[in-house]
Amino acid sequence: MFLHERGHVKSKSLSVLAVASAAALFLAGCASTEGETTTPAATETTTTTTTEAAGSLLDSVIAAGSVRCGTRDALPGFAVLNDAGEHVGFDSDFCRVIAAAVLGDATAVEMIDLETADRFTALQSGAIDVLVRNTTWTATRDGSEGANFLQPTFYDGQGMMVTSDSGYNTIAAMDGAIICVAKGTTTEGNAALESSRLGLDWEIRSFDETDLILEAFLAGQCDGWSSDVSQLTGLRSAYPNGSEALTILPEVFSKEPLAPAVLDGDTAWAQAVNWAILATIQAEEFGITSANVDSIRDTTEDVGILRFLGAEVPGSDGAAVLDPNLSLPTDFAYQVVKQVGNYGEIFARHLTPLGLDRGLNSLWNAGGILYAPPYR
């Protein structure tokens, strides 16, 4: 399979069968057992060499004039369809961040809705260019799914949601409970481990999609609903019986770094996507917003900010613009901030209204762990 080839996607929602058929040739050469790949090292070297010779996906994205972003359409706060049929949300905006950085146009993105089970198959088959769909970065996924995970956009953890009249106020009190989770996610394994760790006898029921869990929960078939706290918060906000009918218990029992992913073996594309995301973090640290980016660029004498925004930096040999050879336009960070905003703006626009605090997703100098490498 060549990374630079892009097939036309007639539908913005991909089924398992459609994506799986496209991925057949990719998967045919790999024999694996669960959690372990058996591809010989020599074959990996050959594949990498062929990919590099074929060119980066970055070239194809630029030629096509759009980014195909694998996402979803029904998670409040992260990605939903508005009345106009447009994707809005935290993840949706990071799809736009990538388009703004690479193409200079935040609207040059095709949102492709994926079912949970289809995420990595779509990436492996080349049906999408980048996956931005509240997906946890784990060692097994990094090593076995052909995925290269990049800078996390949201540091999360798994929690538990119950009905407010359930009588449960702590996870430890839920012995003998029926816990409902989404199939094919890290949630399943985490719930089993937590049950074992606490010595609780949980019956864990897995469902293909969130809508099915909601139906079961409304029918009283689940004592608890376990998922990432951010997802539970979004789902709680849209609960048919009102958000006050549900309570998210205080315990968080896993690490869930939610990160975009691209296909392995394409350094240039991975680098471009990664720095697009990092630009939102650095912009917030600099205090640069979509509202003030023009005035700051025109008036600042801060060399670091001028470099970051792709502006000319005065020097003894004349003015020059920093080009760090990231295969991105030198003003990519300016385009990201001007068209979409910095990290704090994106968070405040979509997640703060749900009641989510910044927490770990604050900047490193504000009690969080968001940190961008120096741009110099």
Output the pLDDT for position 26: 43
Output the pLDDT for position 315: 84
Output the pLDDT for position 52: 46
Output the pLDDT for position 160: 97
Buried residues in 302-319 as b, exposed as e (16+ CB within 10 A): eeebbbbbbbeeeeeeee
- Contact status, residue 267 vs residue 326, Cβ threshold 8 Å: no
Domains of the chain listed by start with CATH number: 1-156+259-376 (3.40.190.10), 158-254 (3.40.190.10)
Residues contacting 48, CB < 8 A, separation 6+: 265
- Contact status, residue 46 vs residue 318, Cβ threshold 8 Å: no
Q: What is the pLDDT along the chain (376 residues), one digit of tens a residue?
A: 334 456 544 345 554 334 444 444 444 444 333 333 333 333 343 333 334 446 899 999 999 999 999 999 989 999 999 999 999 999 999 999 999 999 999 999 999 999 988 999 999 999 999 999 999 999 999 999 999 999 999 999 999 999 999 999 999 999 999 999 998 888 989 999 999 999 999 999 999 888 899 999 999 999 999 999 999 999 999 899 999 999 999 999 999 999 999 999 999 999 999 999 999 999 999 999 999 999 999 999 999 999 999 999 988 788 889 999 999 999 999 999 999 999 999 999 999 999 999 999 999 999 999 999 999 9
Cα gap 73→86, rounded to integer Å: 9
Cα gap 242→131, rounded to integer Å: 31
Which residue type is seen at 258?
L
pTM value surpassing 0.85: no
